[in-house]
Amino acid sequence: MADASDSETRTAEALAAVEVDISSLTPGMSLVVKSHGKPVVVRNRTEQEMKDGQAVNLGDLKDPIARNANLTADAPATDANRTTPGKEAWMVMVQVCTHSSCIPLGQEGDFGGWLCPCHGSQYDTAGRIRKGPAPENMAVPVFKFISDTKIRIG
| Active-site annotation, residues | 119
| Count of C-beta atoms within a 10 Å radius of residue 103 | 16
Chain centroid to CA 117: how far? 19
Burial readout 124-135 (b: 16 or more C-beta within 10 A, e: otherwise):
bbbbbbbebebe
- C-alpha span between 150 and 153 (Å, rounded): 10
Cβ contact 127:49 at 8 Å? no
Cβ contact 108:116 at 8 Å? no
- C-alpha span between 102 and 140 (Å, rounded): 16
